[in-house]
Structure 1
Amino acid sequence: MERYAVRVALVTGANSGIGAATARALFEKGLKVVGLDKRIDMIKAHELKDAPGKLYPLQVDVSSEESILCAFKWIKENLGGVDVLINSAGVCGESLPTNEFTSIQQISPGLLKTEIFSTLQKHSTEALENMRLPMMESEDMADAVIYMLSQPPRVQVYDIILRPTGDLFC
């Protein structure tokens, strides 16, 4: 991770769940993290005062190309550009300006316990609870991101598949 210290990471969906956990893990490792989300109320609360990195919350609708381009413009003007892009807001990759990125890496998770479950209808949530399916936490995804970025320059991790222990679909 030393080679990424003081570099700029952009994390979409940084207000909660996987995005929040990943943003927190990255600025704890010393990166400047730009956290994008429609809601930024919780992004600021995630910042740790004694962490070596810095968090920059930006209110952005990642489903709007204009909004995304404005964010990249702000980042370029204020931080010099993006070195690491973590897309955890569910936006299709071709919607983001990726022509400056040299590699695309992917983490494919199994079932994760995130804020999305609070938006499900009551019977959907109850059904999941009754099935007693094993679930991972958002921090498990953040740890996988840190693992990918921690590799020496001679190693490139392209894909990681994560499944919770006891997953029936493994």
Structure 2
Amino acid sequence: MERYRGRVAMVTGASSGIGAAIVQALLREGLTVVGVARRIHRVKELELKDAPGQLHAIEGDVSSEESIISVFKWIQENLGGVDILINNAGVTAEAPPSSGKTEDWKRVLDVNVLGLSICTREAVQDMLRRGVDDGFVIHINSVLGHVPAIDDVVVIYSASKHAVRVLLEGLRLDLVAKKSRIRVGQVSPGAVMTEIWDYQTKFSKEVAMAMAHMQPEDVAAAVVYMLSQHPRVQVYDIILRPPGSVF
């Protein structure tokens, strides 16, 4: 990780859960971290007094292209640009394909697919423009992006995560065609205990607690591992499953 000390990493969905854990893990590694979220006060609370890295909390909404572009503009004007992008922001909805509400489907796709794509485009264009050839783009995906839908209520979420997997491979091929050595990868965890369970009914937090599950710090450690490999190595996909998981 020494090569990234002082470099700029942008983390979306940074206010809680996996995003918050990634922010603090990168701060401990000495990176300049831009934590992006709507709840900016929660991001500010992630500052670590004894960590060598520096935190910048920026308000941003990944479902809004205008908001995303504003965040990148601030980073370019104040920090020079993004060297690492962690696309962590994600939402879910209990919206079955035969009865779900259009607004729920749209919200999931706007954040998990379109927002991720816009952030990726802006980060990669910024890196290419500045000649950054050791940058990194990491998507926080899910085991549900690798397996068939496990239940009708999570179909739209699972579909969005399958899209993320396809988008990652498209990005890799795009960068190969551009002869860029910017690396890409995804971390695909199973059940992780985060706030996302608070908004579920069928898969409630109580149900999740009874399941085999991991903690956000486990996903953050995988991100650090991916970043820490030699530039000749591209760790492309890390799948994390807790022991005893049924999916």
Same fold (TM over 0.5): yes
> 2:2 corresponds to which residue?
2
What's the counterpart of residue 70 of structure 2? 70
From 218, 221, 224, the counterpart of 1:146: 224
What is the distance in 1 between the residues matched to 2:202 and 2:244? 25
Provide runs of 4+ in structure 1 moved above 4 Å.
none
Q: Which residue of 1 aligns with 2:212?
A: 134
Shift of 1:136: 0.6
Offset from partner CA, 1:67-117 (integer Å, 9 cap, x none): 000100000111010000001102323222233362321111101100112
Gaps of 5+ in 1: none
| 1:27 Cα offset (Å) | 0.8
**Number of matched residues?**
167
Output the CA distance in 1 between the equivalents of 2:87 and 2:13. 7
User: How does the TM-score come out when normalised to structure 2?
Assistant: 0.64
1:94 is matched with which residue: 87, 112, 117? 117
Alignment of 1:1-170 (within 5 A): 1-90=1-90, 91-92=112-113, 93-96=116-119, 97=122, 98-99=124-125, 100=127, 102-121=182-201, 124-129=204-209, 132-169=210-247
SS of the residue corresponding to residue 33 of structure 1 reads strand
Does 1 or 2 have the higher relative contact order (CA < 8 Å, sep 6+)?
1
Q: TM-score normalized by structure 1?
A: 0.92
CA distance in 1, matches of 2:52, 2:34: 15
Is this contact kept in 1: 2:18–2:194, CA < 8 A?
yes
Query: SS state of the match for residue 141, structure 1?
Result: helix
Of structures 1 and 2, the larger Rg is shown by 2
Residue 123 of structure 1: CA displacement? 7.3
CA distance in 2, matches of 1:127, 1:150: 35
Compare the two structures and name the one with the higher helix fraction: 2
Give secondary structure in 2 for the equivalent of 1:46: coil
Higher strand share: 1
Structure 2, unaligned stretches of length 5 or more?
Answer: 91-111, 128-134, 136-181
Per-residue deviation, 1:127: 3.7
CA distance in 1, matches of 2:236, 2:184: 7
Q: How far 1:128 moved relative to its partner?
A: 3.6
Rounded Cα–Cα distance in structure 1 between residues aligned with 2:45 and 2:52? 16
